[in-house]
Amino acid sequence: MTARRFSFSNKKLRGIPRRLRALARWTKSFSGYFPSQLTPEEKYWNYKIPVYRNLVEGKQTTKSIQVFCAQQLIDAAHHIYKAKPQDAEHSRVTCVISLPCMFSSELCIYTSEEYFKEHTTEKTGRFGRIERIQGKSLAQEFGLVLPEGFNELGVLRTDEDDDGKSIYF
C-alpha cells in the first residue's frame, strides 16, 4: 500500500511522477474490492488518500496534481461501487474531495442513509453548520469525469475552534 504522511519540511518533494503512479496503482487495487467486514451498525467506513501532504497541499502542489488525485479518488470509489455485493445494496459509496485541505480527502462507504444525511443535510448539528454549495461544480472546474451512477454534492462545513473562531471544511 501507498504511504500517507505529514511532512513538516520545506524541502522540495521529490519523485512526484513516481508518487502519482503509486496513487494510480492504489486506485486499481480497489478493482473488484468491497470491504467484507462492513455491518449496518458501523454506519461508516473510510480510507484517506494515501499521499504525502505536500503532494496535494501547499506551495509545491499544482492544480494538475490536485485534478489527477481527485480523479483517482473518484475512480477508486467507482471500483468499490462496481464490486458492491447484493447484500450491501443500501450502502452508499462516496468520494469526499476536500478543498483547500485535500490531504483530508477520502473514500467513504455509508451503511446508514441516516448517517450520510447527517453529513450532507443543511443544518447545524454535531458536525458543525452544514450548507450546500450552490452554483459551483468541482467536476466542471477541475474537468473531472464522474462515472455513470455518480453525482456531485458540494457541502461547506463550518465549525468553531477552541477560541470561537470559524473553521471551514
User: For position 11, what pLDDT does the model report?
Assistant: 77
Instruction: Please give the residue that has the higher pLDDT: either 147 or 125.
Output: 147
User: For position 6, what pLDDT does the model report?
Assistant: 59
The answer for residues whose C-beta is within 8 angstroms of residue 163's C-beta and 6 or more apart is: none
The model's pTM is 0.88
Res. 2: pLDDT tops 80: no
Lowest mean pLDDT among 4-13, 90-99, 136-145: 4-13
User: For position 3, what pLDDT does the model report?
Assistant: 59
- Judged by DSSP in three states, 106 sits in strand
Instruction: Please give the residue that has the higher pLDDT: either 140 or 5.
Output: 140
Instruction: Please give the residue that has the higher pLDDT: either 8 or 36.
Output: 36
Res. 160: pLDDT tops 80: no
Cα–Cα dist 8/6, whole Å:
7
Give 31-88 as a DSSP string: TT---TT--TTT-EEEEE--SBHHHHSSTT--HHHHHHHHHHHHHHHHHHHHT--GGG
Question: What confidence tens digit (pLDDT) does each residue in 19-41 have?
Answer: 999 999 999 999 999 998 888 88
User: For position 123, what pLDDT does the model report?
Assistant: 81
* Under 8 Å between Cβ of 19 and 51: yes
Instruction: Please give the residue that has the higher pLDDT: either 36 or 70.
Output: 70
